[in-house]
Amino acid sequence: GVEQALTADTAPGGTADGRPVQLLANIGTAEDAERVAAGAVEGVGLFRTEVLFLERATAPGEEDQAAVYARALQALGGRKVVVRTLDAGADKPLAFATQPDEENPALGVRGYRLVRSHPELLETQLAALGRAQSHAEVAPWVMAPMIATAAEARDFAARARAHGIAKVGVMIEVPAAALRAGEILAEVDFVSLGTNDLAQYAMATDRLRGELADLLDPWQPAVLDLVDATARAGVQAHKPVGVCGESASDPVLALVLVGLGVTSLSMSAGAVPAVRFALRHHTAAQCHTMAAAALAAESAVAARAAVVGLLVPEV
């Protein structure tokens, strides 16, 4: 059936007229890397390394971490792997690093901000990544979460390069960073949009509050405006702009993201076939028209309806 035809399709991602769009998987462990490597993905677009740190009394050491990263890189056998440095705090507390009593943890010391109080956590992780890289077929791309300013991006890039990391990037998931993506891209080699947090912060809506899902919707035109600003900065800087939030796994929204100028999409591996299929049936120009229609809408519901009306009949 359709399901089988979709999963049998293993071609690299791209539009009907051949614009490449890398289709990547989100993972949290080396075991995940081995599992997704068996499927038709072009690599890993988000390795959430905090899984290594959670539910421990102390941080894992450099050697333990290096072994995990090396195993993940080896599993992907030369395919692209984007590793995200520790994103603790807020919904991911750590016994040995984060503050349990913060009044607004989503706005507090989380993600990259942990470097202020615990620089050794980041330094050890970067050293482990540098060590894993020296044994790997392909160097990992390494990015930091929750970057808000160009100064933070510059600080991260300096630390990562000091450990020999060749491809350095940051996540764009704070609206301030999206609005200033050009300045941030001047400091790093690539960026990746985290649309889960970007929507949370743009819409002032807790990402864990299910009853507010209508506000948190990545189809919200204000969220798409921030994606647009980031993608435009990427095109201007000739640097890759990926998306690794849940929005990348919606095949219709994926067309809009590509139309806005996004160059890779990372998602749970199971979502890749449907996204590949949708892209394959639309040209880059059609994606661009869809993106313009979504940006012109005045609500998330209207944006989605406008784009669905533009889908080619086979999809």
Give the residue ranges of the annotated binding site.
48, 84, 173, 196-197, 207
Q: Show the tokens assigned to 52.
A: 């290594």
Instruction: State which of residues 32, 173, 189, 250 lies at the interface with ligand PEP (CB under 6 A).
Output: 173
Q: What distance in Å separates the CA atoms of residue 203 and residue 9, rounded to the nearest whole number?
A: 37
- What number of CA atoms fall less than 13 Å from residue 15's CA on the CB side? 20
Residue whose C-beta lies closest to ligand PEP: 194
Least gap, CB of 244 to ligand PEP (angstroms): 5
Is residue 169 at the binding interface for ligand PEP, with CB under 6 A as the rule? no
Is residue 194 at the binding interface for Mg ion, with CB under 5 A as the rule? yes
Binding range to ligand PEP, per CB under 6 A, among 124-132, 193-201, 219-227, 283-291: 193-201
- Inter-residue contact 239 to 213 (CB < 8 Å): no
Strand 22-27 and strand 167-172: pairing? Answer: unpaired
Task: Give, as one character, the DSSP assignment of residue 38.
Answer: T
- How many residues bind Mg ion (CB under 5 A)? The answer is 3
Q: What distance in Å separates the CA atoms of residue 47 and residue 62, rounded to the nearest whole number?
A: 17
Is residue 242 at the binding interface for Mg ion, with CB under 5 A as the rule? no
Is residue 85 at the binding interface for ligand PEP, with CB under 6 A as the rule? no
- 287 catalytic, yes or no? no
Scored b (16 or more CB within 10 A) or e, 171-183 reads bbbbbebbbbbee
Is residue 197 at the binding interface for Mg ion, with CB under 5 A as the rule? yes
DSSP letters for 118-141: -HHHHHHHHHHHHHHHHTSSSPPE
Q: What distance in Å separates the CA atoms of residue 140 and residue 189, rounded to the nearest whole number?
A: 13
How close are the terminal C-alpha atoms of the chain, in Å?
15
Instruction: State which of residues 76, 244, 272, 293 lies at the interface with ligand PEP (CB under 6 A).
Output: 244
Residue whose C-beta lies closest to Mg ion: 197
Of 173 and 189, CB closest to Mg ion: 173
Instruction: State which of residues 149, 196, 205, 283 lies at the interface with ligand PEP (CB under 6 A).
Output: 196
Instruction: State which of residues 15, 98, 133, 195 lies at the interface with ligand PEP (CB under 6 A).
Output: 195
Annotated binding site for Mg(2+): 173, 197
- Residues with Cβ within 8 Å of residue 238, at least 6 apart in sequence: none
Binding to ligand PEP (CB under 6 A): which residues in 33-72? 46, 48
Binding site for Mg ion (CB under 5 A): 173, 194, 197
Q: Which residues are catalytic, by number?
A: 244
Give the interface with ligand PEP as residue ranges (CB under 6 A): 46, 48, 87, 173, 194-197, 244-245
